[in-house]
Amino acid sequence: MNARLINAGLLVVAFLAALANYEGLALTIDAQTFWDRAFCAAIAIGVMSSILVFWHLAFHVVPQMLDPDHRLVAWLTTLFGTLCIVGLSAALNVAALGGHEARQVGLQEVVASAERSFAAGSQGSGRSIQPLLPDLDAFRTYLAGLAECEAEAGCVTSTKGRSGVAATLQQLAGAAGTIVEAVSRSQADLGAKGDAARSCLAAMRAALTKPVAIERRSEEVARQVDCFNAAMTEARGIDGAAQVGQALGSFTSGIVIPVTVKTAQQKEAVARILATIKQKADELARRAAALPISEAAEPVTMTRQNALQAVVTHASAIVPIWIVGIALDVLPLVLLVFVTIHAAAGRKDPDERMLDRPVRDVIEARRALPEIEAPRRRLPAPKEARR
């Protein structure tokens, strides 16, 4: 086989591996200064030299091994050396070829995690009180109507007029209205925080497709992650169900029968209506406590990875690039197998090996034959021939 062609191929492979190692190492350490790039270049030259020396020795030693024991040792040494080269060079090859893509996959996973967090926790625990709002408003309306009825027709004490009972009922109606307004405000606040988180999430998605360098894209996504986490944390602090439960649980606490209620019949009627109001409030409090509370979603985390970390972490997403990176270091081993097989075949049948010589070599040998034979013709004949 043509040794020059093999050596040229090994030189090309070693040069490509050196370029890939330089680029992969520069992306990994974020080489910005001259000394950083000089260090990367020195490592790349060292890798290239190691590859050339190793395969030069392998191609000159392994095919010539005749003894089976020596041949086994040579092949084991070659395989071990190949593994060392793969360990030294393959990861940096992949970092150079797929570092940007792997980091992009990492950013996509961060955005997907934010989307899951938003779907799980954007409603907060306050949103769970939404089904109870109509009943709370009906409770407020009931108390306001009862106070108005007491004032106009004496529905509770059978004595119409703006008495203390009517004022107490009006106070309870105002307290119920305050609860409804507080829940409405919490819903509005929760909606505002949800809109803020949604805006940050949209900005995250937009950052993924910006035509800028991956470093700037990562910085933009990191800023939006901080924005998103802040909005989600504030939303998780809004607990409308707990607020309603506490307010309704002590709704009638501290209420006493006004002194204007004098007769036993009036006192009994007022006590009965207060008990009814407390029963309704307690029922609403129990329902508020039983409402499902959304689980607090975990904050979105983002790890800033370099190219080498990214290709290892997200290896499953760039399998073809890993295959190319490893194949670049293993290709000389395939060539060595062919050379070894060819050498073994030549030792088995030397005549066939001679027939494999290129036609040009045969023609050149034919032309050189007369020049080789000419000096022999000019030699004096032996003595026996003269006699």
Domain boundaries, the chain: 3-103+312-377, 124-293
- Tokens 């990875």 -> residue: 305
Highest mean pLDDT among 89-93, 143-147, 278-282, 294-298: 89-93
More confident of the two residues 28 and 262: 28
More confident of the two residues 259 and 46: 46
Please tell me whether residue 157 adopts helix, strand or coil conformation. Answer: coil
Closest CA to 64 of 113, 3, 20, 4: 3
- Tokens 């405000």 -> residue: 185
Q: What is the mean pLDDT of the chain?
A: 80
Its pTM stands at 0.66
pLDDT for position 126 = 46
pLDDT for position 58 = 92
Q: What is the average per-residue pLDDT within 202-228?
A: 89
Cα–Cα distance, 373 to 175 (Å, whole number): 127
pLDDT by residue (tens digit) across 179-204? 788 777 777 777 788 888 889 989 99
Q: At what angle do helices 319-348 and 68-121 cross, to 10 degrees?
A: 170
More confident of the two residues 383 and 158: 158
Which range, of 45-54, 73-82, 158-167, 316-325, averages the lowest pLDDT? 158-167
Contacts of 329 (CB under 8 A, 6+ apart): 17, 51, 82, 85, 86, 89, 90, 93
- Tokens of residue 184, six digits: 């409405």
pLDDT classification of 75: cutoffs 50, 70, 90: very high
| 28, 366 contact by CB (below 8 A) | no
Which range, of 117-131, 179-193, 211-225, 303-317, averages the lowest pLDDT? 117-131
